[in-house]
Amino acid sequence: MTTPEVHRLHPLSWLFITGNTVKRLVIPAILVLFASSTNPLARYELLSLIAIGPALVVALFKQAIYSYRFAADELVIREGFLFRKERHIPYGRVHNVALVRNPFHRMLGVASARVETAAGGEPEAVMRVLSLAAVGELRRHALGKERAAALPAAADAEAPPELATVKEAASSGILLRVPAGELVRLGLISNRGFLVVAAFVGVVSQASWWELDWEAYYGAARDRAPEWSAWLFEPGSTTSLGLIGVGLLLLLFVVLLRVFSVAWHLTKYYGFVLARDDDDLRAEFGLLTRVSSLIPVHRIQLVTMSASLLHRWSGRAGIDVETAGAMEGSGEDGDQLAGMGSRSNRQWLAPIIAADRAPALIRAVIPEIDVEAVDWEPLDPRAVRRIFKKALLALGAVTGLVTAILALTPIPVSPWHALWLPALLAPLIWRGADGWVQNAGWALTDDAVFFRSGWLARRTSVVRFDKMQTVTMRESPLDRRNHMASVAVDTAGAGSEGHRIAIPYLDLEVARGIFERLYGETCGTEFNW
Amino acid sequence: MPGEAPDSEPADASETGVRGIVDGEEHEVDPRSVTVARLVAMPTILAVAIVPLGGVTLAWALGGVPSYVYLPLLTGWNVLVGAALVWAYQWPELRHRHLRYRVDESGVRIRRGVLWRKVVSIPTSRVQHTDVSQGPVQRRFGLATLTVYTAGTEGASIGLEGLEQSVAERLRDHLLPDHEDHDGAEGPSPRSRER
């Protein structure tokens, strides 16, 4: 074995390392500048900008110290400023070398590479930043020769070959392309607009709005309002007109939400392409920050197909998978790499797809999983009453609370009116419980366990037997009274949110059967990440 | 396969030294674990209880708190602590009564829970590694906790406390060797060394 050559980061790395810190300092500083027109104390927050100097120094040190080399069977990374650290990452464990390129990266011809292993937790290494040629070399080493062989030679930095992989693979199997029109539709049927609203609220709250002279604004608005809207400002304007005004505002809010949502989805998933290349899936997406990631099919632990009410009305669904590996984009890298769906390591196979094409796409990725060919088994029919009772209990508590409030406070409404609450909601709850149970179901095939649930928003999840870890059967006190139980399957890299294989409200005997069968199937297979 | 035990005769001393353990039968953990749990929980409760009690008593002694507040407070607190102590005495026994484990060639199954019952099955093929640990009180009694690690999330580590130490070690060895050959490429976490 020849002594491996030591590699360093791209000479411009300091720019990106500092950039991350600066982003966090400068954006609040800009907000402060806005806010400080009304609140002079806020200017002191600008002092935090002093930290940029040291950040730059640290960044230069980091860049100087960070080095990596490709040993025979492992990637060795040296890093650390005060505490030096040497990491050994065996190639066999690397399951993804993901790239992130925002417009700055593209301008300078570099990329942030993130080496993900099956370990869970933080990504094994984030290399910020590498030249495209270096990325090619990294991928060739870390992902193995045969996988690299599928890629074109990475010598030419002009035409970034690693980033062209999806296009190259066009002949070898594009599984899905999401056109911009579909993303607009996705924006319309999703609620992502709230993210933008939350950000907006954040900005507004920075500006100490409560100190603003609202009466002056109101007066100015009234003076400039056109003739036809004068009624809005009349002191004696009737309640109904006021209500119309509020209604219009709400409508505007909803429209804005949708506009934001569409914009968010377009920016994030623009040009989404999913391609299959032997055992690997390649996904590429993003308008400003272009993300290119690689998902080895055999690392997929759980597949979920989901559809909200609006999705179903428009005949669409989404498919995502959980892979074992890089979980929370922890620490300083979290915000930059959040665009990869790395939180709770879920990744979209399809952010949106025609519902009737979804099973075929899953089959194309994992042939053993055929959602259409599954014989669904129902939950125990007693589940409806149990869910209903549980909800009634909560409803009773709320009703009691509302009654108490109406009785004890000077609100001029009779406490009896609180009874409208159960009268109106109970039938709805019954309908919901019934719908939930009707739609929920489980299935065992030769290779996998399926579970679906949800009433308005529905989700179906699949885990192959060789990806199961432990199998658990639970009996709550109420379960025992009803001779029922639930069965759950644990998988590697499961996020805190997201759909699980956890089948509730089963008859005890049925639950035992599933439990034993799943355990037997798990024992009969070898887990291979 | 569950329930299937190639070596199900306890009398037959198998050369692996796991006779009477890897037999597909349900076992209780060592009953002395009840004492251990009590010896850990009860002093803890007393230690936690004494701090606010001491504070209030001091305030009362210095005249900061009137007697008509202090005495009911004292009584209430003592009742509360007494109840907690009774609970700390009773609960370990209840818990012990509902804790069972079963080991066979295919894996381990742990059944536990007094009100909320739970059975976890861990196939040997999914065991990443195992360890045996002992707290100070456990060491006095020669007991140990066996922890089984899987690649899962919720069941990433599953503990079985109150085993006799030799039993815990034999179980560890039983669950371990199968996986040592895979360790090179498939282990859960690449190692990072600090210098």
pLDDT digits (tens, 9 = 90+) for A110-141: 888 888 765 544 566 788 888 888 888 888 88
How close is the nearest chain B Cα to the Cα of A510, in Å? Answer: 15
| pLDDT at residue number A236 | 56
- Residue A116 backbone phi and psi in degrees, to 5: -110, 140
- Closest to B190 (Cβ–Cβ): which among A84, A124, A476? A124
CA-nearest residue to B107 within chain A is: A523
Q: Which residues of A touch B (CB under 8 A)?
A: 83-90, 92-93, 117-121, 124, 324, 468-477, 480, 488, 490-494, 515-516, 519-520, 522-523, 525-529
Mean pLDDT of A283-310: 87
DSSP tag of A56: H
State the pLDDT at residue A159.
37
A520 chain-B contacts, CB cut-off 8 A:
1-2
CB contact under 8 A, A477 and B116: yes
**H-assigned helices in B67-161:** 67-97, 136-141
* ∠ CA A56-A57-A59, rounded to 5°: 65
Nearest to A494 among B107, B154, B192 (CB): B154
Instruction: Evaluate whether A505 touches A386 at the Cβ level (below 8 Å).
Output: yes
Share the mean pLDDT of chain A: 79
- The pLDDT-based confidence of A377 (bands split at 50, 70, 90) is very high
Q: CB–CB of B184 and A124 under 8 A?
A: no
Q: Supply the pLDDT for residue A288.
A: 83
- Answer for the pair A66, A83: CB distance below 8 angstroms, yes or no: no
Query: What is the predicted ipTM?
Result: 0.79
Under the banding of pLDDT at 50, 70 and 90, the label for residue B10 is very low
Q: pLDDT class for A227, splitting at 50, 70, 90? A: confident
Q: How far apart are CA B53 and CA B50, in angstroms?
A: 5
Q: Which residue has the higher pLDDT, A63 or A37?
A: A63
CA atoms within 13 A on the CB side of B149: 11
- B117 touching A, CB under 8 A? yes
pLDDT at A330 over 50: no
Nearest to B150 by CA among B169, B132, B175, B113: B175
Could you tell me which chain B residue has the CA closest to the CA of A486? Answer: B118
Lowest mean pLDDT among A169-173, A490-494, B14-18: B14-18
B185 interfacial to chain A (CB closer than 8 Å): yes
More confident residue, A168 or A355: A355
Could B118 and A473 be called an inter-chain contact, meaning their C-beta atoms sit closer than 8 Å? yes
Kindly determine whether residue A85 and residue B192, on different chains, have CB atoms separated by under 8 Å: yes
Q: Nearest residue of B to residue A326 by CA position?
A: B189
